[in-house]
């Protein structure tokens, strides 16, 4: 197999795509590649001339680029039939499909890199800006929050990782805020308690309400396999796609399996891991898996059906000593504002927690049975 180098860059949209599928693909593509843009434009527009116009390029340039790439790849990209609409060859269609899979898997790391670059330039050019480093389990609402706070000079440097790694980063001083999620009032003997309790210390950590969100099973549009519950997926007929170790969604799945006395090995595909909710959705949409646990917004973005299973709390943890620092105070104020509350409520599968309120560990995660201090006589 020959080695082919494809160059990518960040850049604005070159045209306004017409179909829902094209809009979704353009929104997901955080990195741009000229060849992929050409192929997508030809598929969308149905002719070389229309594709060139939509991209703001000349017909001669587009035609020449496609021919150049056909020579480099030693493959036909376009079905060249005179008088017929331009169609992608089978190879070109597979090339677009492969690039779509790569974009979905890279979305979370790219979002983190973009946040890091934004943070760097904020320090350099805006002396009034607040900066807040946040390690967090991947969440679509956090991406919207970063866009929202940036307009008010509060720059969130978000690093997406597993929930466990996020809390460890907080304890090690690598961030000011850690985002993680749990079921409401998780039992003291639950997997969540076993996993998270050693990482927290009442009186030392505080919880800031961010959102309530629904997690459920993502399946093909129309639910052709008639999946209704997690027990259906365990039947062995379905291919499951999982999240990685240390993620809150992986922990949630293990908890749901344990509650139903189901062993992980009964789930076909339990070992297969993806980096984010959107990557799980893409895997199912492309036919590589039949079901996976994720948030509702990921299902809608990929055109999948969503079967709700549980509602969970998404928390932002911080040290008690940081609650009144200017960046954290600005974040809390923003979260409690009507504009953000309305934005959150409009997102599929999300509700306010209420956002911005400060909660104690002992109240929301009832895992500690601390005796009250004795008052000396």
Supply 266's token pair. 């009964």
Q: What pLDDT shows up at residue 140?
A: 92
By CB atoms closer than 10 A (0-12, 13-18, 19+), residue 141 is: buried
Contact 356, 334 (CB under 8 A): yes
Q: Where in the chain is the domain with CATH 1.10.10.10?
A: 20-101
Supply 102's token pair. 């790569």
Statement: residue 135 has pLDDT above 90? yes
41-97 per-position pLDDT tens digit: 998 888 889 999 999 999 999 999 999 999 988 999 998 777 677 889 999 999 888
Statement: residue 19 has pLDDT above 50? no
Q: Where in the chain is the domain with CATH 3.40.190.290?
A: 128-362
Strands 154-160 and 130-136: parallel
Statement: residue 15 has pLDDT above 60? no
225-265 per-position pLDDT tens digit: 999 999 899 877 889 999 999 899 999 999 999 999 999 98
Q: How many CB atoms lie under 10 A from the CB of residue 352?
A: 18
151-177 per-position pLDDT tens digit: 888 989 999 999 999 999 999 999 999
The phi-psi region of residue 185 (left if phi > 0; otherwise alpha if psi is between -120 and 50; otherwise beta) is left
Residues 6+ apart with CB under 8 A from 350: 141, 211, 212, 213, 214, 297, 344
Q: Give the total residue count for the chain.
A: 377
Nearest to 247 by CA among 273, 270, 269: 273
Statement: residue 279 has pLDDT above 90? yes
32-57 per-position pLDDT tens digit: 788 888 999 998 888 889 999 999 99
What pTM was estimated for this model as a whole?
A: 0.68
Dist CA 148 CA 159 (whole Å): 17
128-362 in CATH: which number?
A: 3.40.190.290
Dist CA 305 CA 303 (whole Å): 7
- ∠ Cα 20 25 30 (to 5°): 140
20-101 in CATH: which number?
A: 1.10.10.10
DSSP per-residue string spanning 75-127: S--EE--TTS--EE-HHHHHHHHHHHHHHHHHHHHHHHHHHHHHHHHHHHH-T
Q: What is the mean pLDDT of residues 178-207?
A: 94
């Amino acid at each position: 197999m020959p080695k082919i180098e494809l160059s990518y860059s960040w850049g604005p949209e070159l045209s306004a795509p017409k179909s829902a599928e094209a809009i979704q693909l353009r929104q997901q593509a955080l990195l741009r590649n000229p060849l992929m843009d050409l192929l997508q434009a030809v598929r969308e527009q149905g002719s070389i001339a229309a594709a060139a116009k939509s991209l703001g390029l000349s017909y001669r340039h587009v035609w020449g680029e496609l021919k150049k790439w056909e020579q480099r790849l030693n493959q036909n990209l376009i079905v060249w039939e005179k008088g017929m609409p331009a169609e992608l060859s089978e190879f070109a269609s597979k090339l677009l499909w492969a690039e779509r899979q790569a974009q979905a898997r890279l979305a979370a790391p790219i979002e983190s890199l973009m946040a890091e670059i934004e943070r760097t330039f904020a320090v350099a050019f805006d002396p009034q800006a607040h900066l807040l480093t946040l390690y967090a389990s991947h969440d679509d609402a956090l991406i919207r929050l970063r866009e929202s706070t940036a307009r008010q000079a509060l720059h969130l440097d978000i690093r997406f990782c597993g929930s466990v790694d996020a809390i460890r980063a907080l304890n090690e001083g690598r961030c000011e805020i850690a985002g993680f999620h749990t079921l409401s009032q998780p039992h003291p003997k639950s997997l969540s308690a076993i996993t998270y309790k050693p990482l927290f210390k009442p009186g030392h950590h505080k919880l800031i309400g961010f959102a309530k969100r629904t997690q459920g099973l993502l399946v093909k549009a129309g639910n052709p396999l008639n999946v209704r519950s997690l027990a259906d997926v365990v039947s062995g007929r379905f291919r499951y796609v999982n999240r990685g170790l240390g993620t809150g969604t992986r922990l949630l799945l293990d908890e749901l399996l344990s509650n139903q006395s189901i062993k992980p090995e009964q789930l076909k595909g339990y070992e297969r891991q993806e980096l984010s909710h959107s990557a799980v959705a893409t895997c199912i949409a492309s036919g590589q898996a039949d079901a996976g646990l994720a948030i509702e917004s990921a299902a809608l973005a990929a055109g999948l059906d969503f079967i709700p299973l549980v509602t969970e709390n998404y928390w932002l943890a911080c040290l008690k000593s940081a609650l009144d620092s200017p960046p954290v105070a600005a974040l809390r104020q923003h979260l409690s504002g009507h504009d953000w509350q309305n934005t959150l409520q409009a997102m599929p599968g999300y509700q306010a927690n209420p956002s911005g309120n400060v909660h104690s560990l002992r109240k929301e995660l009832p895992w500690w049975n601390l005796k009250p201090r004795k008052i000396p006589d």
